[in-house]
Amino acid sequence: MALAFALGWVALERDVSTGTLTAMLFIAVAGGLSASAALVIVRRIASRPWSARLAAVLLLLILGTGGLASLAMAVQTAWVSHDLTAVPLHIAFLIVAFVGAGAAYGFLAIAALLMLPVGLPLLAAVSLAIARTPR
């Protein structure tokens, strides 16, 4: 998914900055964690039909990658812009939640559109490979 984001970014002839590299790293780590979770889920639902395994893997890869990348971006933004150690825990959670909503919107509005042309076929191929045979 990070490769799809990078290809979309370069195709638009945008400069690659440290912020862009950070976003690519967040997307790559989130995609790896989502794929690992998908492997675990496929093992747990190995007795289910192939179509159910494919749907579970596809949803987990899509929602997991977007959600984890948005969460990482939200925590980084909140940590830099607010002194989270000086506020009560429930206020820190609220700050991260509000910043997280903005990060999720930013991910969907910018990154998802850049990743769609290359990322969707790649995501389908990875989902097919993971769901085909439960290991």
Percent with pLDDT over 90 in the chain: 18
The model carries a pTM of 0.79
Query: Is 43 in contact with 130 (CB distance < 8 Å)?
Result: no
42-46, 70-74, 113-117: least confident range: 113-117
pLDDT bucket at 134, cuts 50 / 70 / 90: low
- CA 82, 83, 88, 90 torsion-angle sign: positive
Per-residue confidence (pLDDT) for residue 135, from 0 to 100:
60
9-32, pLDDT tens digit by residue?
Answer: 788 888 888 888 888 888 899 989
Amino acid at 68: L
Where exactly are the structural domains of the chain?
2-132
pLDDT bucket at 66, cuts 50 / 70 / 90: confident
Q: What's the whole-number mean pLDDT along residues 69-81?
A: 86
Distance CA 104, CA 106 (A): 5
* Two structure tokens written together for 19: 């912020």
Higher pLDDT, 11 or 58: 58
Q: Is the pLDDT of residue 95 over 70?
A: yes
Amino acid at 59: L
Q: What's the whole-number mean pLDDT along residues 96-116?
A: 85
